[in-house]
Amino acid sequence: MVLIYIDQADQEIKKASYEAISYGAALAKQLGTSAEALFLGTVKDNLSDLGKYGASKVHQVNNASLNHFDAKVNASVIAEAAKSLGASVVIFAHNINGKAVAPAVSVKLGAGIVTGACALPKTDAGFVVTKTVFSGKAFASIQIDTAIKVISINQNSFGVVIGEGSAVVGNIDISVPSSTIKITSVDKIQGEVPLTEANLVVSGGRGLKGPENWGILLDLAKALGASTACSRPVSDADWRPHHEHVGQTGLQIAPNLYIAIGISGAIQHLAGVNRSKTIVVINKDPEAPFFKAADYGVVGDAFEVVPALTAAILKSKG
């Protein structure tokens, strides 16, 4: 059986989990077994709807203490559930929580692990998983020989497959260890789609020259219904809040569309956004490294190009 971990925030299923289910369902079909999901905590969403993405069953550890993510606790519960259910493969989304818990689960299960997988395993001669390496510049094929296998899948590498069906939902009785983490306060960004969940992202760099010029980027983001991001020098200079910093030392994101405005595209920045499905670069320097990674590029002054693009989008919307 293929077991897929369903990540949540505020009792709502994260977008990356739907892709993980689709991936797990395709792998289960390939292996001739079932795809089943594991949800920890209480939930506002209808868990039976996960059947539309390929899960035949959803096992819920219905314990409100699990609503607050604790990697140590979650790893223990997931590993016990995997043993109890007889899972041969455990799937995670390769997001912040998945990165924290998947390696610990593999240790507890004595399982081989591949993190950041970007394709279904090849199972015709063993079990070989392909992943990206060197910040997305190359691929590695890794064979897992252990009886139980753990895989975390890169966001936007497989896609979400929606069909019909309804999953059977049931509780699973797993002992939940006490957390050693005490939450004293929670500060949340209000009114924005988290960058790790966003489908559309508009990002700016030092080419915008200062925070006073950020209005053209915000106007474009509003016209598109996109989230906003920035490069590290921008957040370091306090032009934008640090939670918008994307790159190797910031958030790593995988939207359907990433528009980079006035960003040179150093390897450290590209490492955080190179899994975007479509990258659009706007920069007046035709030699900017980012153009080599772009699907579409505009060589021009951002202060002329961006307002014109925003006007065209608004006009197309009527």
Cα–Cα separations (whole angstroms), residue 71 to 3, 22, 250, 317: 18, 24, 20, 44
pLDDT values of the chain reduced to their tens digit, one per residue, 318 residues: 999 999 998 899 999 999 999 999 999 999 999 999 999 999 999 999 999 999 999 999 999 999 999 999 999 999 999 999 999 999 999 999 999 999 999 999 999 999 999 999 999 989 999 998 887 778 999 999 999 999 999 988 898 999 998 999 999 999 999 999 888 887 776 666 788 889 999 999 999 999 999 999 999 999 999 999 999 999 999 999 999 999 988 998 989 999 999 999 988 999 899 889 999 999 999 999 999 999 999 999 999 999 999 999 999 987
DSSP secondary structure code for residue 83 in this structure: H
Residue showing tokens 């053209």: 216
Long-range contacts formed by 119-122: CB under 8 A, 24+ apart: 119/157, 119/158, 120/23, 120/26, 120/27, 120/30, 120/158, 121/27, 121/30, 121/151
Q: Is 298 helix (H, G, I), strand (E, B) or coil?
A: strand
User: What is the rounded CA–CA span in Å between residue 17 and residue 4?
Assistant: 8
β-strand pairing of 89-93 with 8-9: unpaired
User: What is the rounded CA–CA span in Å between residue 7 and residue 46?
Assistant: 14
What's the pLDDT score for residue 138?
87
Cβ-in-10-Å burial (0-12, 13-18, 19+) of 86 comes to: exposed
* Structural domains of the chain, ranges and CATH numbers in brackets: 2-171 (3.40.50.620), 195-316 (3.40.50.1220)
DSSP codes of every residue in 21-32? HHHHHHHHHHHT
Beta strands in the chain (DSSP E): 2-6, 8-9, 12-13, 35-40, 57-61, 89-93, 112-117, 128-133, 138-143, 149-153, 168-171, 200-204, 227-230, 257-261, 278-283, 296-299
The H or E element containing residue 222 is helix 215-224
Helices (H) and strands (E) in the chain, counts: 7, 16
DSSP codes of every residue in 129-154? EEEEETTTTEEEEEE--SSSEEEEE-
Cβ-in-10-Å burial (0-12, 13-18, 19+) of 48 comes to: middle
What's the pLDDT score for residue 314?
95
Yes or no: say if 105 and 75 are a contact pair by the CB < 8 Å rule: yes
Separation of CA 149 from chain center? 21
pTM (two decimals): 0.86
Sign of CA dihedral 186, 187, 193, 194: negative
Count the neighbouring beta carbons within 10 Å of the beta carbon of residue 257: 17
What's the pLDDT score for residue 159?
87
Task: Please give the structure tokens belonging to residue 23.
Answer: 């991936």
Task: Please give the structure tokens belonging to residue 161.
Answer: 């497959």
Count the neighbouring beta carbons within 10 Å of the beta carbon of residue 196: 21
